[in-house]
Every structure is written in structure tokens, then in C-alpha cells.
Structure 1
């Protein structure tokens, strides 16, 4: 249990059978009446954001999340197989559980899996990945870094907008949070 007086940004609580993360909080002590805590909570599973007010000192169950470093080892049918880097246990997840960033997942990539009890809440990929370009329109003489962008397909099948001078076979760095090109990689 955690008191509403102890709310801080990033604290996770269990409300109505779901995990909520405190995004914003404000302790309010009005001149008349009792103090309260006004919060903005984000549902970890669905991403919904709600505002909720708690009485000062009100206790709510704290959601204890476990973060484990795992390595994507291989794909078997519709499942992705991950290996715990400490215990060598395997965990199987579907692409839906991983989310839309599954398009940047390649074998032997280390990721963090956040669980609550037995339920997988989040799969955290690195903020940037280095991938090889497998298909894009050829570069033409005169294409510059400030000229524009074109679509390119990387080795995992994801499509990224890259500068006109990038060609097939080059390795590029991609920001997985914004799906944007960060630069060439040697």
C-alpha cells in the first residue's frame, strides 16, 4: 500500500485491476476543508490518461513491476522467443504483446520486458537501433543531405524515411521512439 502523500512521477499503482503510472501530481491544501492530491494517471496497458483526486493520506495498492533484461533469440511460428539473460529461461510473446515496435526487433537484440505478476505490460526496445537498408530507390548524383527524403525498407521489414543519398546495403541508425533516421553507421 502507498499513501497518496507519497505519490511521485513514475510511481505505479493498482486501481480497478489495472496498472496506472502517475504522470503528474499536485498536493493541494485549500484554506477551507481538507487537503487532497490531484493526479494525472496513465494506464500502462492501454495508454489512456485520466485525472483523479485522492484525499490526503488515502492509501492505494502499489503495483510492483518487474523489469527483466532478455534477448530475442528466434521466431517460432507466430511467437517471438526471448531468453532471460540471468536465468536462461525462455519466454514466448506474440507480436501484439510487443506492440508496434516489433518492426525493429531483430535476433540477438537485448530488450527489457516489464511484467506485473504474470502479465506482460511493456516491451522496451533500445532508444536507437542500427539496421541495414535492404530496399530503396537508388541515389542520384546531386542528392544532398538537405534535399529531401525517400522511403527505405530495413532488414526487419520496417519502412523508414531516409535522406536521398542513402543507398541499399548501408547501415543506418533509427530512433525507435519516433521512427526517424538518425544517421549513417560505420
Structure 2
């Protein structure tokens, strides 16, 4: 189905020249002379790059063939990340480039959302909040307050986040994966 200029809006998924994009920002421009147009910033699902694109009245773009599946992260075999479809038990392997920075939030057994474009995996999304164990951090010092500063902590996946002084090594914390920030200690 073709998408016209008037149907464009923030968050809409479109396909241009075989590449799927998401509209992250758009502005309808009506100049004093000439026809109206839409200036949009679009983000590629394939490489994450944001580009600016202008759409005029007759321009059409396609709706991409995107499917999102819940899959379980199994393990990293040294070269590839192995995932299993939770419904069909079918396995796929993705490279470090395909998985990207979200790898630092994945433990074996974590359920993730994998986006497929024309039956080819293009991106991996982890849950917004994950629970991870602290494996290394500085000890608690006398005089530290729970509302005071922060210290770095290495988590079991290798990710490093800033945590309050009162949180200790061996404890499990919740982390926001979008901002890489400490949320709370798991009780």
C-alpha cells in the first residue's frame, strides 16, 4: 500500500528504495509561493542513521514488510549471537553488528524483540527495564548517604552503570536499558 504525503506522521514506518525507515520528526511546510511539502527526519532500521528527507505532494512511499517476533537469547558462540523463536523453536544467528549495543543488557534466556524486514532480521530490542547482578563495585564507605553521589558498578553482562553508594557488590538492581541508568535495588 502506497503512503502519500498527507498520511505522514511521527512514528510511521515507511520504505524508500527497499530500505525501511521510521519517521522520528516531521514538519508540514506551507511556503508563501509554491506547493506545500513535508520535511521529515527519518531513521533507518538497518544502520540507525537519521537523514532528512523532503516529501512533495505527488510523492509516494511504500509500507515496509516488517514483522516483530519474541525470541529468546540463548548464547554467544564467539562469533554470533544465537536466538530461538519462542513459538516454533526455530533458531537464528545474528552478528555483533546486527545486535549492536543492546548485547550489554542480554543474559542467556532473556526474551527480546527481533524485527524482521522481508524475513531478514534487522534489529534487536531488549526490555526497557532489566534486572542484573552487580559483580564489581567499590565498597561502601562510612559517611556515605543513600541520597548522595554515585559510583561505577560492573554488571554480570559487562555493562557499567552509575549506582548510589549504598548499593553493594552481589546485589541485583533494575536498570533502564534506554538511558543506561540505575532505577532501583531489587528487594
SS of the residue aligned with 1:103? helix
1:97 aligns with 2:89: no
For the 8 Å contact 1:12–1:64, the answer to whether it is kept is: no
Structure 1 gaps of 5+ residues are none
Match of 1:77 in 2: 78
Residue in 2 that maps onto 1:55: 56
Q: Judge conservation of contact 1:37–1:53 (CA < 8 Å) in 2.
A: yes
User: What's 2:87 paired with?
Assistant: 86
**C-alpha distance in 2, partners of 1:103/1:11?**
28
Q: Deviations over 1:8-36 (max 9, x none)?
A: 21222222332221122334455643333
> Does 2:142 match 1:141?
yes
3-state secondary structure, aligned to 1:69: strand
Give yes or no for contact 1:22–1:42 (8 Å, CA) kept in 2. Answer: yes
Tell me the C-alpha RMSD between the 2 structures.
1.8
Moved more, 81-90 or 24-33: 24-33
Alignment of 1:99-118 (within 5 A): 99-118=100-119
CA distance in 1, matches of 2:52, 2:154: 41
Structure 2, unpaired ranges of 5+: none
CA apart distance, 1:106: 0.2
Q: Which stretch shifts more, 20-29 or 88-97?
A: 20-29
Distance between the aligned counterparts of 2:68 and 2:33, measured in 1? 43
- Give the TM-score normalised by structure 2: 0.89
Q: What SS does the corresponding residue of 1:140 show, helix, strand or coil?
A: coil
| CA drift at 1:74 | 2.4
Cα distance in 2, alignment partners of residues 93 and 61 from structure 1: 27
Distance 2:105 2:7 in 1: 37
In 1, distance between residues paired with 2:82 and 2:46?
Answer: 21
Is the CA contact (8 Å cut-off) linking 1:127 and 1:177 kept in structure 2?
A: yes
Counterpart CA distance in 1 for 2:8 and 2:152 is 44
Q: How far 1:143 moved relative to its partner?
A: 1.6
Q: How many residues align?
A: 186
